[in-house]
Amino acid sequence: MWIERDDKLLREFKFKDFQEAFTFMTRLAFLAEAQGHHPAIHNEYNYVRIELTTHDQGNVVTQRDRLLAAAIDELLS
């Protein structure tokens, strides 16, 4: 579930292991590049945290962030 806090959309993911987490991050990288919108991604072993904000709109949550969040959710379904 995405949480909006401090002008960011945030979500944390826990995977089976590092390889599964890294595979998700790689798929996310291609998705973000295709949308021209690049999230902050934090990883430690099987844990991934994503932060979405639109920098060129003053670091606030915009429709671009919500669209990328929905697309990220689709990666997991």
Q: Has residue 55 got a pLDDT over 90? A: no
Average pLDDT over residues 45-73: 94
Say what the pTM is.
Answer: 0.90
Q: How many angstroms separate the CA atoms of 15 and 7, rounded? A: 26
CATH number, position 62: 3.30.1360.20
Question: 42: which strand partners?
Answer: 49
Q: How many angstroms separate the CA atoms of 75 and 25, rounded? A: 10
Give how many domains the chain has, as a whole number: 1
At residue 23 the predicted structure's pLDDT band, cuts being 50, 70 and 90, is very high
| Domain span holding position 68 | 3-75
Greater confidence (3 vs 55) lies with 3
